[in-house]
């Protein structure tokens, strides 16, 4: 059992009856309609659904960057939101416990690949030397160590996204939230990223929630949930446990 796994086995995410209403009057949109969702530690969950279903809204609400209109959120057993009211210092919570990956890599353009990872560690009060060492390790792990000192503009889309994944993993988050992280990648590399999430979830006991449209990689997930019109569909039967996948260690031949 990984050492940072909470012995109380509190779920990574426990969201109950989350609602989010955008706008008012005739621009009023109910993006989330009393959504309840639980993601356990060590569990990798795919969030599916058509465009506009409310997937991103759910992800950002759980990620403490877009407060819900109503409902409760607990992360790792800690109640963090009650309606639109924060119960903790959300910024501190984000830097210590959460990791984000988005469709775009969102790297800081004036920092090199390794610095983009390093900054996440320094934000979380790591001294710069060990931060750099860990950042290099992560880049190595993701197969982009040879691009460590390149600026984002000199990296391919796939390389950028792997740097973004390394950044999300840097502080060993207990919850990883990813919104279409593989949309800009080809299917092989997309699958590699999903497998990496799975590996981190299982090795570090992190909960992982991934919004995806890529049905070919669904076998990587422990469970899938589907959204439509701001509601969760009744749970679909769990997919089969996938065949053990090769790790990404030493897999550096792609660009």
Ligand X SMILES: Nc1ncnc2c1ncn2[C@@H]1O[C@H](COP(=O)(O)OP(=O)(O)O)[C@@H](O)[C@H]1O
- Residue 154 binding another protein, by CB under 8 A: no
Contact set for another protein, span 110-129 (CB under 8 A): 110-111, 115, 118-120, 122-124, 128
CB 165 within 8 A of CB 91: no
**C-beta closer to Mg ion: residue 158 or 181:** 181
Among 55, 132, 134, 162, binds ligand X (CB under 6 A): 55
| 164: nearest Cα among 108, 203, 218, 213 | 108
Site for another protein contains 149 (CB under 8 A): no
Closest CA to 131 of 142, 116, 151: 116
Q: Is 91 in the site for another protein (CB under 8 A)?
A: yes
Residue with Cβ nearer another protein (80 or 98): 98
DSSP state of 27: G
CA dist 173 and 170 (Å) reads: 8
The span from the CA of 175 to the CA of 204, in Å, is 10
Of 44, 45, 40, nearest to 74 by C-alpha is 40
Q: Where on the chain is the footprint of Mg ion (CB under 5 A)?
A: 56
Q: Where on the chain is the footprint of ligand X (CB under 6 A)?
A: 22-23, 29, 31, 49, 51-57
Q: Where on the chain is the footprint of another protein (CB under 8 A)?
A: 56, 60, 65-66, 91-96, 98, 100, 102, 106, 108-111, 115, 118-120, 122-124, 128, 131, 151, 167, 179
């Amino acid at each position: 059992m990984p050492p940072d796994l909470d012995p109380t086995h509190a779920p990574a995410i426990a969201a109950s009856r989350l609602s989010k209403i955008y706008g008012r009057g005739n621009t009023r949109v109910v993006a989330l309609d009393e959504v309840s969702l639980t993601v356990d530690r060590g569990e990798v969950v795919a969030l599916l659904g058509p465009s506009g279903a409310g997937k991103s809204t759910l992800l950002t609400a759980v990620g403490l960057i877009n407060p819900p209109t109503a409902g409760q959120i607990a992360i790792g057993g800690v109640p963090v939101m009650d309606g639109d009211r924060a119960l903790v210092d959300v910024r501190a919570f984000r830097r210590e416990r959460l990791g984000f990956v988005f469709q775009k890599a969102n790297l800081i353009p004036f920092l090199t690949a390794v610095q983009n990872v390093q900054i996440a560690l320094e934000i979380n009060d790591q001294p710069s030397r060990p931060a750099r060492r860990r950042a290099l390790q992560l880049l190595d792990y993701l197969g982009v160590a040879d691009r460590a000192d390149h600026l984002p503009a000199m990296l391919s889309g796939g390389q950028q996204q792997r740097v973004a994944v390394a950044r999300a993993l840097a502080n060993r988050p207990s919850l990883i939230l990813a919104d279409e992280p593989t949309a800009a990648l080809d299917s092989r590399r997309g699958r590699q990223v999903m497998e990496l999430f799975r590996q981190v979830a299982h090795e570090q006991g992190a909960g992982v929630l991934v919004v995806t449209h890529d049905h070919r990689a669904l076998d990587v997930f422990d469970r899938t949930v589907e959204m439509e019109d701001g509601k969760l569909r009744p749970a679909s039967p769990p997919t089969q446990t996938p065949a053990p996948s090769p790790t990404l260690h030493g897999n550096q031949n792609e660009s």
